Structure 1
Amino acid sequence: MEVSEIFAVCHVNDVAKRRAVGYVLARINEEGKTVPFPIIIVRHQGKYYAYVNRCPHQNSRLDFEPKSFFDPTQRFLLCGKHGAQFDIPTGVCNDGPCVGAELEKVALVIDQEEVCIAGVQIAEEDGLDREEKDLYPEVVITSD
């Protein structure tokens, strides 16, 4: 995979084994505007995965309750609003109202123990006022 620019989101140890962490970043959209960009970084079976934190069923966030991303068995990502269940490595819904739909993947690169995202134009100074900022970890975006 050719990567032109990557952005460090967190250290590899910030996402514990078999856990997921939500981050709210900001990206530049097609119109050049800065918009919220909520993502989930998941560590599962020794690998890291990232998805946009948006269920394809009704575009709601997966974590209906803050920091709650898994089904009770912790084997699947779960939309807390309508119960859609997603395979962690593929992001494909295997149970619930949107079977067959997929979470939007975010390209990840592990760079010297930093979990970085790629392929997204990130706003380094977002200036967004968000209520959820206190519920999710702070992220300092630095380009490589």
Structure 2
Amino acid sequence: MEEPTREIFAVCHVNDVAKRRAVGYVLARVNDEGKTVPFPVVIVRHVGKYYGYVNRCPHQGSRLDFEPKSFLDPTQRFLLCGKHGAQFDIPTGVCNDGPCVGAQLEKVEVVIDDNEVCVTGVTIAEEDGLDREENDVYPEVVITAD
């Protein structure tokens, strides 16, 4: 039986995420009740591959980039929760140091399509940003279905 085609949503160009760096975006997701809600994600390039996670530490639910745009430890080998210092393995999202050892970041499926980093497996609202309480130190993104 053939799998149904999954929608992909472009988030950024591959060059927007420099080698071994991480960039945060606030997307708009449709929740189970059909409401459009903020969906903060972090896209990471590590050893030539791209990974995506919900930008929320499993320890207390705070954003990883407690300091805006700061996602990685000083060695740039791990994602880091800036609030309490939890350290996460980039390929797996598993916490290997800090207050939530063994917990895992929520993975967001990422695919590369025509040099665009795209997310799939989630229902993204096709909107230009969101009305949200956060200030604009976090980048907005225009989501378009491919």
TM range (shorter): over 0.9
RMSD after superposition: 1.6
TM-score normalized by the length of structure 2: 0.93
Provide structure 2 residue ranges, at least 5 long, that are not aligned to the other structure.
none
Q: In structure 2, the residue corresponding to 1:41 is in which secondary structure? A: strand
Distance verdict in 2 for CA 1:10–1:35, change over 3 Å: same
The within-5 A match list for 1:51-62 is 51-62=53-64
Q: What's the offset of the Cα at 1:45?
A: 0.5
- Find the partner of 1:143 among 130, 133, 145: 145
1:82 corresponds to which letter in structure 2?
H
Q: Which residue of 1 aligns with 2:83?
A: 81
Taking only the aligned residue pairs, the percentage that are identical comes to: 84
Distance verdict in 2 for CA 1:128–1:52, change over 3 Å: same
Moved over 3 A (4+): none
Q: Which residue of 2 aligns with 1:10?
A: 12
Deviations 1:78-134 (A, max 9, x none): 000111000000000000010000000000110010000000100112663224352
TM-score normalized by the length of structure 1: 0.94
Provide structure 1 residue ranges, at least 5 long, that are not aligned to the other structure.
none
CA contact (8 A) 1:3 1:118 kept: no
Cα distance in 2 for residues equivalent to 1:3 and 1:104: 23
Q: In structure 2, the residue corresponding to 1:13 is in which secondary structure? A: helix
1:32 corresponds to which letter in structure 2?
G
CA contact (8 A) 1:107 1:118 kept: yes
1:91 corresponds to which letter in structure 2?
G
